[in-house]
Amino acid sequence: MSTREIISVSRHLGFRVRWAAGILFLNLGAIVFEGIGIGIFLPILEFMNTSGDLASLSENSQMWKTIIQAFQTMSVPLTLGTLLAVAFCSLLIRQAFTYCRLIYLARTQAQFVWTVRNLAFRRFIGATMVYHDGVQAGDFVNEISIELERAASCITSVIIYAGYLLLCAIYAVALFVMSPSMTVIAVGVIVLAVACLQVLLQRTRNVGLALTDANQHVSRFLVERLKSVRFVRLSGTQDAESAAMSQMTNEQRHQNVALLGLKAIVSVLIEPMVVGVAFIILYLAIDNFGLGLEQVLIFFLVGMRLLPVVKESTLIRQGILGSMASLEILNRRLRELEQTQDEDDGHREFANLRQGIRFDRVIYSYAGGSATVPALRDVSMFIPAGKMTALVGPSGAGKSTLVDLLPRLREIDGGEIFFDAESLTSFKKNSLRAGIAYAPQEAQLFNVPAREHISYGRADATVEEIVEAARLARADAFLSDLPSGYDTMLGENGSRLSGGQRQRLDLARALISRAPILILDEPTSNLDAESEFEFRKALDGIRAKGDITIILIGHRLSTIAAADQIVVLQEGAVTETGTHAELIRQNGWYAKALEKQSDRTLHAVENM
């Protein structure tokens, strides 16, 4: 990635031109006053050498004529003291510019990181479900934390590097004015010295890539394992997982140390190179070029001041090469997210469901590498409004995929879905999703107060609405018994509640939206008999209201036996439709599955 490409990428990521201009301006201010501070030493030395004889100084020197005119214009006496004061004031002003640049740089970098991090998160949650099917959360976490910080450093380093190159150019011009021959020799030797470091700089680029890859592996591993601590401990694999973590972090450490080692080598080598060049030039200046003592001292002073500049600019370039991979991977991620945003092409507002939902020969397939995996095949069915429809079938039959189509989390590949007489695609997605409440199989609970979870998505909900939703979900009794009632913190993933309580609490969250459609995805699969009974009671209360269309995915057939309609899906196709009694008479998959579940239950009771 070239400097031009870095600039182009930084602008795409939102790094503003005025930020770069501000950094360069402050850097230029520091450079100008540093030049004045160093340049004033030649007049000071000449003033001291002539004992302050201004007439002789100005006789053959245009520089002195200009200096004398400037002091007369400001009505300031030209003395050794005033010349030293000018040099000192130039140093102070340079330091003020440097301080402002450092503060502005820090704020700019923090602002950029904040902007990109929020942009990335907004795009991530706004991406299509097809994109999320293949994304690894650990990679994304690493990119918006570690890699983003390194990418920001890469961009600002390019700007600082440009400032250092400008400073080097100004110093080179100053030296060239004093002695063109010496300057050409000095520049040639310095360029040759830096070229000798090119191999180390290229190795820095490769190590930077390896470090980014190691960071990705560690973040990916952490995110996956932190979500599965209970599973790891019950499996007795703590030692194996710890060893795997140790191996990956060791690789991360190795690459980080390698990168720091390369920076240390360059830092150590560049200084003796430049000092050697300075000494050679000093020798040549006195022995071969016949410069006066004042000019030699100034030349040497500028050359020595150029030493840390060359050293720092080389280290900055090395830092850019080391963090370039972070910028590339972050840019690639944001471009992917930009291209996979879930665009809204609807134009109608969804308010209510009067007749029902009709599927007409619906087809949907998942992308699986170079092939596609069919999930729904020619599905035709009707879900009546205000009733409870249960979707059952073996695992992988397409039940969850089917309900994902309703809020348009996924787009059908063929066929049509109608809400009443209107095509599903004619509704605005935000409006559609606001009209569909969803409670997953595993309740997603954050460590927040219970009332905050119930009102998630309804920030304007009143206390009365929160309590009413909890009562309808049969959650009010246990919430009231908690230490702080509705203000009790739930713990991570609701660890302070039982499985049944978590499920009913999440049902209250779904109900408070007052959505006309309620989707329940296997809500009782992880519940004991008592919790399932409580949940079924809550479901009966919701059905009694008669204004909510309930779509229930269930594996426990006892939960869905009272549904107004049961639809059986097998291998992505509808194979049976009817009430519980009707499906028993058909003696198909549903009847056989019910018989197997009943046999297992009876067998378990007999062996108690």
Q: Domains (ranges, CATH) in the chain? A: 3-339 (1.20.1560.10), 352-428+551-608 (3.40.50.300)
Q: Is the pLDDT of residue 568 over 90?
A: yes
Q: Which of 47, 515, 352, 554 is nearest to 565 (CA)?
A: 554
**Which residues lie across from 550 on neighbouring strands?**
388, 518
- Please state the rounded mean pLDDT for residues 383-409: 90
pLDDT number for residue 548: 87
pLDDT number for residue 357: 94
- Please state the rounded mean pLDDT for residues 207-236: 80
pTM of the predicted model as reported, rounded to 2 decimal places: 0.74
- Please state the rounded mean pLDDT for residues 138-162: 87
Instruction: Give 197's contacts (C-beta < 8 A, 6+ positions apart).
Output: 266, 269, 270, 314
pLDDT number for residue 551: 92
CA 156 – CA 318 distance, rounded (Å):
13
Q: Per-residue pLDDT tens for 330-356?
A: 999 999 898 888 888 888 999 889 999
Contact 178, 298 (CB under 8 A): yes
pLDDT number for residue 555: 74
Q: Provide the Cα torsion 51, 54, 58, 60; round to 10°.
A: -40
**Which residues lie across from 608 on neighbouring strands?**
none
The b/e string for 515-530 (b: 16+ C-beta within 10 A; e otherwise) is bbbbbbbbbbbebeee
pLDDT number for residue 75: 83
Q: Is the pLDDT of residue 143 over 80?
A: yes
Q: Which of 305, 307, 318, 314 is nearest to 273 (CA)?
A: 307
Q: What are the distances in angstroms from CA 57 to CA 67, 68, 84, 168?
A: 10, 10, 17, 30
CA 249 – CA 218 distance, rounded (Å):
7
Confidence of residue 315 (pLDDT cuts 50, 70, 90): confident
Higher pLDDT among residues 431 and 513, named by residue: 431
3-state SS class at 340: coil
Contact 41, 95 (CB under 8 A): no
Confidence of residue 607 (pLDDT cuts 50, 70, 90): very low
Token duo for residue 159? 């700007």
Angle at 207 between CA 206 and CA 211, to 5 degrees: 125
Q: Which of 267, 357, 246 is nearest to 317 (CA)?
A: 267
CA 521 – CA 440 distance, rounded (Å):
5
Token duo for residue 521? 């995805």
CA 422 – CA 232 distance, rounded (Å):
49
Q: Provide the Cα torsion 205, 211, 212, 218; round to 10°.
A: 170
- Please state the rounded mean pLDDT for residues 227-237: 73
Contact 211, 256 (CB under 8 A): yes
**Residue indicated by tokens 């770069």:** 20
Q: What is the mean pLDDT of the chain?
A: 82
pLDDT number for residue 424: 92
Higher pLDDT among residues 50 and 175, named by residue: 50
Confidence of residue 5 (pLDDT cuts 50, 70, 90): confident
Token duo for residue 87? 């040099």
CA 165 – CA 28 distance, rounded (Å):
11
Q: Is the pLDDT of residue 569 over 90?
A: yes
Q: Which of 272, 296, 275 is nearest to 284 (CA)?
A: 296
Q: Per-residue pLDDT tens for 171-192?
A: 777 667 766 776 776 677 667 7
Q: Which of 100, 123, 114 is nearest to 149 (CA)?
A: 114
Instruction: Give 324's contacts (C-beta < 8 A, 6+ positions apart).
Output: 1, 6, 154, 205, 208
pLDDT number for residue 608: 36
- Please state the rounded mean pLDDT for residues 144-160: 88
- pLDDT > 70: percent of the chain: 87
Euclidean distance between the first and final Cα of the chain, in Å? 69
CA 590 – CA 393 distance, rounded (Å):
8
Token duo for residue 139? 């990679």
Contact 159, 112 (CB under 8 A): no
